[in-house]
Each structure stands twice: as structure tokens, then as C-alpha cells.
Amino acid sequence: MDGINYQWSDGSDTVFTHWDAADDDDFILGDCVYMDVTGGWRRADCEMPLQGALCHVPPPKSNAFTTYEVVCPSTWVRFGASCYSFEPVVQRLTLDEAREHCRHKANTSDVLTIETETENRFVLEQLWSYGFPHQIIWLGMFFNTDTDSMAWFDGSPMDYSNWNFQAPDPSLLTADTCVSTRVSDGMWLLCQCTDRLGFVCKTNLDTIPEVEVEPLNGLHYGIVPAAVLVAMLIFAVLVAVLWLVYKRNRTRFRRLPSLGNAYYRHTSSQATDSDGNVLITDLEAHSGE
């Protein structure tokens, strides 16, 4: 537990919660959480002995993945590459006042933006677990009169929406049109920017992606084919170079005596000497008779 926020000990994102209804008592204290036999979550002192525990062994890593080094301000909750402040603010503020309050908490902070369904679910789970006092909270969205469309204050893309029925008709909107979300179900609602509502602050911090790559299995099996391929390429290059040299100096190569002619002349000379020796031997034999 960090301040008023519960977090997983392994640093996982707190997307899902399942608090027991009996745990709503504010007099229950404890920095740790256990699960009863019905599956409900309850707070307890970390030194309280329990009847047992389940151990979780994470599966082995098989693919490369990206993690983010995100350091959130104290009492803020991390989700993905963003930090959120769910500290209850009892007073209701206008959108401009809420934005100023968030900027005062952190320089890069602004009123909540929601870009995916997963993030929307995370925000609702957090609001429910804290017993947020407001039923409707601000979203950092406004009607851009230059483009006649809704836009986030921080410039995030408008790829996700969660309107109650359908997206509002831009022709019916004005510069004083803003957006809120209902805590009970996360639906988006139109409202006036001067209304006084609850709010949540969010900040996107500068992050450095750290890519972890698993070593290749059976790497040695690929070394031999790679070496053979490299050798074949080198041999092909050498053959091509020799062929080019021969083409450019063809006349010089023709002037050189061939090995066949040299061998023929040598063997012919040997044959003549041998025949001469045979004739001399025959003459000596006849003269002796």
C-alpha cells in the first residue's frame, strides 16, 4: 500500500479489483489484502497470520516485450506509461479550476483523459475501490470550434469514445460544451464547462522504453548453414573476378604455350632417342655376326 493506494507487490497494473462488501467499514485498517473463501478481498494487517497462501510463478518469457521505467509522484497510481491521482477532492470545481488544481499537483498533470477501453476499466475500478464521493467527474475534453469536433486538451488522438448512446451532433455544440464521465458505468456525458464536478488528475511522464529480447533457441543449428552460404558467396565472387580478368586479357592468355603442346614435344623427343638406341643396338648385333 502506498498512501491510500493499493498496488500489486510485483508491480502489475491494478486493472481488476474485487473488494468484499463487508470491507467498506472505514474502521478496518491494514496495509495488506487477503482473499476470503468467497473470493472477496479484505484489508488486514500484514503481520496477521492466515491459514494458507497460494504461490504464483510467472510463465517463462518467450517473446521480446517492452517495459517502461515510470516513476509516479507520491500517492499516485501507475498504469501503463501514465500516473493517476485518485485522492478524493470533496469540493466540486469547474473544468478550468480542476485543470489548475492538477497542474499545481504536478507540472505535466491535467484532467483525466481516457484513450482505451482497458484504461476506462482501470479508472472505474480505482474509483469504485476508493469510494469516490462524486458520481460524475470531468474528462479533459472540449469542443474545438476550429475543427467542429471534440478534442483532448493534451492532444491525445480521439480513437476511443464511450458515449451513452451516440456521438453528439457537432452542429448542436458550442465553445462552452465539455464532457464528463459517469462513475457508475463509465459512460460519457455532455455538460457545460462551468459546471462543478469531481475530477481525477493524470500525467504522462517521459519514459524510456527498455526492450528485453530472449536469446534464440538452437542458435548453433544456424551457424553451419550460414557459414556454408558465406563460403559459396565468396567462391562465386572469386569466380566472377577471375572471369573478368580473363575477358580483359584474353590475347595475353592465348600467347602462352599450352600444357598439351609442351607435353607432346617432350614425349616426342623421348621417343626419337629411344628409337635411335634400338637401331644402334641392332647394327652392333649384325656386325658381330
Q: Which residue has the cell 500500500?
A: 1
Q: Could you tell me if 122 and 200 are in contact, meaning their C-beta atoms sit under 8 angstroms apart?
A: no
- pLDDT of the residue at 40: 84
Backbone angles phi, psi at 273, to 5 degrees: -60, -40
- pLDDT of the residue at 132: 75
Let me know the angle formed at the C-alpha of 40 by 7 and 45, rounded to the nearest 5 degrees: 55
Burial 1-14 (b: 16+ CB within 10 A, else e): eeeebbeeeeeeeb
Backbone angles phi, psi at 139, to 5 degrees: -110, 145
Closest C-alpha to 177, from 74, 85, 95, 71: 95
Closest C-alpha to 16, from 65, 79, 61, 59: 79
- pLDDT of the residue at 105: 86
- pLDDT of the residue at 278: 47
- pLDDT of the residue at 243: 83
Q: Could you tell me if 81 and 187 are in contact, meaning their C-beta atoms sit under 8 angstroms apart?
A: no
Within 10 A of 236 (CB to CB), how many other CB atoms are there? 10
The residue type found at 272 is T
- pLDDT of the residue at 61: 57
Which residue intervals of the chain are DSSP H helices?
95-105, 117-130, 220-248, 250-255, 259-288
Q: Could you tell me if 141 and 151 are in contact, meaning their C-beta atoms sit under 8 angstroms apart?
A: yes
Q: Which three cell numbers stand for residue 179?
A: 464532457
pLDDT along the chain (289 residues), means of 10: 64 73 65 84 86 76 56 87 84 93 88 94 89 88 92 91 89 93 93 94 66 46 71 89 80 59 47 48 51
Q: Which fold has domain 21-212?
A: Mannose-Binding Protein A; Chain A (3.10.100)
- pLDDT of the residue at 228: 81
**Per-domain residue ranges for the chain?**
21-212, 223-253
Q: Could you tell me if 220 and 156 are in contact, meaning their C-beta atoms sit under 8 angstroms apart?
A: no
The residue type found at 52 is G
- pLDDT of the residue at 200: 93
